[in-house]
Chains A and B, each alone.
Chain A
Amino acid sequence: MSTADSSSFAMSSATQIAAQIRSGQMTASAVLENHLAAITARESEIHAFNLVTIDQARAQAAAVDAMVAAGQDPGPLAGVPVAIKDNMCTRGVPTTCSSRMLEGWRPPYDATVVTKLAAAGAVMIGKTNLDEFAMGSSTENSAFGPTRNPRDTSRVPGGSSGGSAAAVAAGFAPISLGSDTGGSIRQPAALCGVVGVKPTYGMVSRLGLVAFASSLDQIGPFANDVADAALVMDVIAGHDPGDSTSIPMEHPSLTAAIAQGVEGLRIGRITDLPGGADPEVEARLEEAFAALAAAGAQIVDVQVPALTYGLTAYYLIAPAEASSNLARYDGVRYGMRVPASDTNSMYMATRHEGFGPEVKRRIMLGTYALSAGYFDAYYGKALKVRRLIADDFDRAYQQVDVMLTPTAPSVAFALGAKTDDPLAMYLCDTYTIPSNLAGHPAMSVPFGTGADDLPVGVQIMAATLNEPVMFRVAAALEAAAGSNGNGRGGQ
């Protein structure tokens, strides 16, 4: 029966799919059609996508099948459908950032990550919904309507990469890409019950990622399991001469790292972590520490006092950078233009009509924080607090290899619950923001459930370029969650 087929394909991992396509046991075209069937069945209630790229995907899958038939290897992601957050440029394919400002815009180039995925044999299945210009924590700020959480469609999927998280959780694609400026991969991963990774700043090229806050933005994967996330990281990581902040080095294979276990690793428990998480979320975190201790790791208490000020530093720095980055949307070279009699009026009218309320709010906050008379009091101070946070982290990482926190303070909340109170929405990012400020890697792994049986994510944070150890810990947590019945079994 076709639905049984599509669910069995949808439950397959990217690792398995690629292996079976490379060995000729399955075709990329059949895998694609089954995922398209899953989308047809449920996309109308989820709205994970701004665009499903059916024709292009079929052509890419056929090309993969032709390579296999000709005895060539299409690459490590052979025939694996991948969903791309709609703030990454795709040549000739609409890229909207879920904003009226860019509706209908077709970029003249591909983001480096898109090129790399295609070169590894992946098949792009569509562009996913997000909070407008990646500003938000619920995907409710999209100009094209919200995405709903596949685990409970009355709830948000988190954000801003909510479409990419929902696409994986709903079985529309085994893997997807998101971008993370203050938690926009990890928080929706936690709320949708999937794995989400924010790599070290500079590990993955930002060329072709539409800029939100350039010193914080980083692209990373969503996946159903840690091995798939490692597989995607191994494909997309690496130096790109086109991104001046890209780190010029070779990165070790994370796929090779994950089997090494956690024996002897030092896991940090932050004793002065800002409170406010739900009791169930706190309980899962404690179980995660216990599981790692049982697997041979050592739990070490550490203090990171400056974390308390992370939210303030972030919500001054990110809007300041955004106000500068979004100055380019002026109706001149691309995107929307509202005609007017002179250029300045055209700028004002275009930006008034093109941007939604949250984007305007952040541009206003950032412009204020950067303006004469307020710069030292806000932006200047925030940059100094950013240094304190990085220094506190450095001290902590002399004592531990990784630190664990909740990813989000609560399970997925109802649509509309926080839309009237921007500050309440910002507080969703308390635990994820510090890694962006420091430029460190962090990831969320599903670990049991909280209120209303909804997924809880545990966040693993590590020092710059310590992804191999972070992934070892992630694999151990995943194994423990599975054996406790805390994993995604029963989905």
Chain B
Amino acid sequence: MPERIDVHVVAKVSRLARLDLTPSEIEVTTEQLAKMLDHFADIDAVDLDAVVPMTQPYPLINVLREDVEQPCLDRDEVLAVAPDVEDHRFRVPPIIGLED
């Protein structure tokens, strides 16, 4: 089992998750996650070496569907609910070039 979770790990995870947690939220989250992970340590006692992971409940195989034309979503209806649109495209603030 890894070392006990701390505020530095939680702060890093919050950046990975794109969640802008405040210092007090990070503290509370650390406490709550630590308590949960302590509880979840029950599976450390189980011998899992020979067990194959199960990612989904029903055996599925990849199949290709027939290449038949199907109706798609209405572009105007989709863009009508977008936060910002320009020239029939989603508009976002600058991605690069603003670093100081």
The residues of A with any CB-CB pair to B shorter than 8 Å are 105-109, 200-202, 215, 241, 244-245, 247, 308-309, 311-313, 315-316, 323, 327, 330-337, 339-349, 351-352, 355, 360-361, 363-365, 367-368, 371, 373-374, 377-378, 380-388, 390, 422-423, 426, 437-440, 464
In the complex the two chains form, what is the Cα distance from A422 to B40 in whole Å? Answer: 13
Say if the beta carbon of B7 comes within 8 Å of chain A.
no
Residues of B within 8 A of A426 (CB): 36
Give per-residue flags for B65-84: 1 if the beta carbon is below 8 A from chain A beta carbons, else 0.
10000000110011011111
In the complex the two chains form, what is the Cα distance from A335 to B30 in whole Å? Answer: 29
In the complex the two chains form, what is the Cα distance from A323 to B95 in whole Å? Answer: 23
Inter-chain contact B36/A384, CB cutoff 8 Å: no
Given the known inter-chain contacts A109-B73, A343-B93, please indicate yes or no for A361 contacting B29, CB distance below 8 A.
yes
15 contacts between A and B (CB under 8 A): A105-B81, A201-B58, A247-B58, A331-B83, A332-B83, A341-B93, A346-B93, A348-B19, A349-B20, A364-B13, A364-B14, A368-B10, A384-B48, A386-B53, A388-B51
Inter-chain contact B19/A245, CB cutoff 8 Å: no
Residues of B within 8 A of A312 (CB): 39-40, 42-43
Inter-chain contact B60/A384, CB cutoff 8 Å: no
Chain B nearest CB: distance from A220 CB in Å? 15
Inter-chain contact count A-B, CB under 8 Å? Answer: 162
**Nearest CB to that of A309 among chain B residues?**
B43
Chain A nearest CB: distance from B64 CB in Å? 11
Residues of A within 8 A of B17 (CB): 323, 351, 363-364, 367
Give per-residue flags for B1-32: 1 if the beta carbon is below 8 A from chain A beta carbons, else 0.
11001000110011011111100010001001
Given the known inter-chain contacts A215-B56, A343-B95, A383-B54, please indicate yes or no for A378 contacting B83, CB distance below 8 A.
no
Residues of B within 8 A of A106 (CB): 80-81
Residues of A within 8 A of B46 (CB): 309, 381, 385, 388
Q: In which size bucket is the chain B interface?
A: 35 or more
**Nearest CB to that of A107 among chain B residues?**
B81
In the complex the two chains form, what is the Cα distance from A364 to B15 in whole Å? Answer: 10
Given the known inter-chain contacts A309-B46, A312-B40, A331-B83, please indicate yes or no for A245 contacting B20, CB distance below 8 A.
no
Chain A nearest CB: distance from B55 CB in Å? 6
Inter-chain contact B52/A364, CB cutoff 8 Å: no
Inter-chain contact A381/B43, CB cutoff 8 Å: yes
Inter-chain contact A439/B57, CB cutoff 8 Å: yes
Task: Name the contact of B33 in the complex, choosing from A327, A365, A382, A439 (C-beta under 8 A).
Answer: A365
5 pairs of A and B residues whose beta carbons are closest in the complex: A439-B57, A337-B83, A383-B53, A387-B54, A348-B20
Task: Name the contact of B35 in the complex, choosing from A308, A351, A423, A464 (C-beta under 8 A).
Answer: A423
Residues of A within 8 A of B42 (CB): 308-309, 312
Inter-chain contact B5/A387, CB cutoff 8 Å: no
In the complex the two chains form, what is the Cα distance from A424 to B29 in whole Å? Answer: 16
Residues of B within 8 A of A371 (CB): 13, 16
Inter-chain contact A348/B74, CB cutoff 8 Å: no
Chain B nearest CB: distance from A239 CB in Å? 12
Inter-chain contact A108/B95, CB cutoff 8 Å: no
Task: Name the contact of A384 in the complex, choosing from B16, B29, B32, B53 (C-beta under 8 A).
Answer: B53
Inter-chain contact B19/A355, CB cutoff 8 Å: yes
Residues of B within 8 A of A440 (CB): 57
Inter-chain contact B43/A351, CB cutoff 8 Å: no
Residues of B within 8 A of A311 (CB): 39
Inter-chain contact B54/A245, CB cutoff 8 Å: no
In the complex the two chains form, what is the Cα distance from A150 to B26 in whole Å? Answer: 37
**Nearest CB to that of B41 among chain A residues?**
A312
Given contacts A241-B65, A309-B42, A390-B54, 10 further A-B contacts (CB under 8 A): A200-B58, A215-B56, A323-B17, A332-B82, A335-B83, A364-B10, A377-B1, A377-B2, A381-B48, A384-B53
Inter-chain contact B58/A348, CB cutoff 8 Å: no
Chain B nearest CB: distance from A92 CB in Å? 8
Inter-chain contact A464/B58, CB cutoff 8 Å: yes
Most buried by A among B10, B82, B90: B82
In the complex the two chains form, what is the Cα distance from A25 to B20 in whole Å? Answer: 59
Residues of B within 8 A of A361 (CB): 29, 32-33
Given the known inter-chain contacts A201-B58, A387-B51, A423-B35, please indicate yes or no for A316 contacting B83, CB distance below 8 A.
no
In the complex the two chains form, what is the Cα distance from A437 to B55 in whole Å? Answer: 9
Residues of B within 8 A of A340 (CB): 93
Given the known inter-chain contacts A245-B60, A334-B81, A385-B43, please indicate yes or no for A352 contacting B95, CB distance below 8 A.
no
In the complex the two chains form, what is the Cα distance from A367 to B1 in whole Å? Answer: 17
In the complex the two chains form, what is the Cα distance from A316 to B55 in whole Å? Answer: 12
In the complex the two chains form, what is the Cα distance from A355 to B21 in whole Å? Answer: 11
Inter-chain contact A343/B94, CB cutoff 8 Å: yes
Task: Name the contact of A351 in the complex, choosing from B16, B20, B81 (C-beta under 8 A).
Answer: B20
Chain A nearest CB: distance from B12 CB in Å? 8
Inter-chain contact A367/B13, CB cutoff 8 Å: yes
In the complex the two chains form, what is the Cα distance from A381 to B1 in whole Å? Answer: 11
Most buried by B among A351, A364, A380: A364
In the complex the two chains form, what is the Cα distance from A361 to B54 in whole Å? Answer: 25
Most buried by B among A337, A348, A352, A368: A368
